Amino acid sequence: MIQIIVDFFLGITADMGYLGVFSLMAVESSFIPFPSEIVIPPAAYLAFKGEMNVFIVVLVGVLGSLVGATVNYWIARSLGRVVIYDLVQFKWAKYFMLSKKKVEHAEKHFLDYGAVSTFLGRLVPAVRQLISLPAGFVKMNFGSFIFFTALGSGLWVSILAALGYYFGENEDLLASYYKEISIGAILLVLVVVSVLFLRRKR
């Protein structure tokens, strides 16, 4: 079953190429929930096989993330906090896995860490898609927003690409441990976030 899933996403990535990676990562960073773990590793695996270039994969992945995050930022900045909170309480919001609680969680993360949260938030699965909203609420400097978002996205995409490329040496290993790879990447990110959090507290 896992092999079928892996082959399915490899096929999609191969067919869509770099534009597909860019588009899917833009979607992943917007309101629509779409895990980057099923976009970047397959692309990096194809790079290992010589069908793509891993550095271009990382570049277009980061650019896609920036586009999706920027859309969220400007929507929040334009509409404002009150309107966004009203919107996520409509029934249709649940189809995009949006809720008032999730937006509040992202906003708390931003209030706790300030501008750097747009970097840290890109590394936290539950916060990644929504951390741009509070940045838009407070009209965070756009240059700083882009810088921290690119930094966080770059780190996350690079981790996923490195994993996909490394396990490309053994297709059976990739298929067997795909879930574990994704979990491992998330755990690694949590360690990084914890270290940064402790340093900030000190």
Pick from 8, 15, 58, 52: nearest CA to 163: 58
Three-class DSSP category at 161? helix
Looking at every residue in the chain, the average pLDDT score rounds to 76
User: What is the chain's Cα-based Rg?
Assistant: 17
Domain ranges of the chain: 2-201
pLDDT band at 1 (very low <50, low <70, confident <90, very high): very low
Total-model pTM:
0.73
pLDDT band at 178 (very low <50, low <70, confident <90, very high): low
d(CA 49, CA 154): 22
